[in-house]
C-alpha cells in the first residue's frame, strides 16, 4: 500500500498503472517513428520532467531530448496568456518533433505551442501528454495520451501545485482547501 499524503483526497492513477501505460506509449511511439532517423523530443518544463525521463528511456528509435519552459500568467490554478520562458537550443526546420507535456487542461498551452512550432517548419509535429482533463470542448490534439482524468486539481509524477508535490510517485487529487483560501 502506498501511503497517502495528508493534502490529498485520493490517488487517481497509481505508480504501477503509470509505469505500465508509459511503456505502452513508448512502444507505440517507437513503432510509429520506426523510419525516422532522429526524433526530436521536446519536454515542457517543469511538469514533464519525470514523465519524459521514464518515457524516453523506453523509446527505441534514435532520439534527442530538448526542453522548453512555458508559463501562464495569472493565479496558480488558472491558465491565462502563455509566454516562453526558455526556448529550444536548435532550429527545428525539417525535424520530426514530439512534444511531451504533463497535462492538458483547457489546451491553451499546447495550442499556443503548436502554433509557434508550426511556424518553424518541422517535418512533422506530434504531441504526447500523460493526462488530459475531460472537457466538453476539444482544445488541442493529443496524439499519444496516457490517461483521461476528471476535472479536479491533480498533483504528482511531475504535476504540481505552487511547485510542490511534483515527486510523488502517483497522480492524485489535491484537497481543495489546500489551494482555495
Ligand atoms: P492548459 O489549461 O491546458 O493551458 O494548462 C495550463 C497548465 O496548467 C498546464 O500545462 C499545467 O502546467 C497546469 N495545470 C492544469 N491543470 C493542472 C492540474 O490539475 N495540476 C497541475 N497542473 C495543472
Ligand atoms: Mg505547471
Residue 128 lies in a domain: yes
Residue 8 lies in a domain: no
Number of domains in the chain: 1
Residue 89 lies in a domain: yes
Q: Which of 51, 80, 82, 103 to mutate to test the pocket of ligand 1 (most atoms within 8 A of CB)?
A: 103
pLDDT at 80: 65
Domain with residue 122: its CATH number is: 3.40.50.2020
Between the two ends of the chain, the Cα-to-Cα distance in Å is 31
Asked, as a colleague might, if the bond just before 46 is cis with ω within 30 of 0, I would say yes
Residue 180 lies in a domain: no
Strands 8-13 and 171-174: antiparallel
Residue 6 lies in a domain: no
Whole-model pTM over 0.85: yes
Residue 160 lies in a domain: no
Averaged over successive runs of 10 residues, the pLDDT of the chain (181 residues) comes to 84 98 98 98 97 98 97 63 91 98 93 95 98 83 96 96 96 93 65
pLDDT at 79: 61
- Is residue 165 in contact with ligand 1, taking CB distance under 6 Å? no
Give residue 69's domain range: 13-132+139-147
pLDDT at 81: 77
- Is residue 166 in contact with ligand 1, taking CB distance under 6 Å? no
Three-class secondary structure of residue 139 per DSSP = coil
Three-class secondary structure of residue 16 per DSSP = helix
pLDDT at 29: 98
Residue 46 lies in a domain: yes
Amino acid at each position: 500500500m502506498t501511503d497517502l499524503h495528508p493534502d490529498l483526497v485520493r490517488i487517481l492513477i497509481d505508480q504501477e498503472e503509470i509505469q505500465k501505460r508509459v511503456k505502452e506509449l513508448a512502444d507505440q511511439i517507437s513503432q510509429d517513428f520506426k523510419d525516422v532517423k532522429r526524433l526530436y523530443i521536446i519536454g515542457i518544463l517543469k511538469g514533464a520532467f519525470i514523465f519524459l525521463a521514464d518515457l524516453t528511456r523506453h523509446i527505441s528509435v534514435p532520439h534527442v531530448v530538448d526542453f522548453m519552459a512555458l508559463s501562464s500568467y495569472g493565479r496558480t490554478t488558472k491558465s491565462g496568456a502563455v509566454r516562453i520562458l526558455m526556448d529550444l537550443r536548435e532550429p527545428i526546420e525539417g525535424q520530426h518533433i514530439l512534444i511531451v507535456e504533463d497535462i492538458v487542461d483547457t489546451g491553451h498551452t499546447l495550442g499556443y505551442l503548436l502554433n509557434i512550432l508550426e511556424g518553424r517548419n518541422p517535418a512533422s509535429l506530434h504531441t504526447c501528454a500523460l493526462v488530459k482533463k475531460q472537457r466538453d470542448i476539444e482544445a488541442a490534439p493529443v496524439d499519444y495520451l496516457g490517461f483521461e482524468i476528471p476535472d479536479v486539481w491533480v498533483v504528482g509524477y511531475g504535476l504540481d501545485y505552487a511547485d510542490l508535490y511534483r515527486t510523488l510517485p502517483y497522480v492524485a487529487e489535491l484537497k481543495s482547501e489546500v489551494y482555495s483560501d
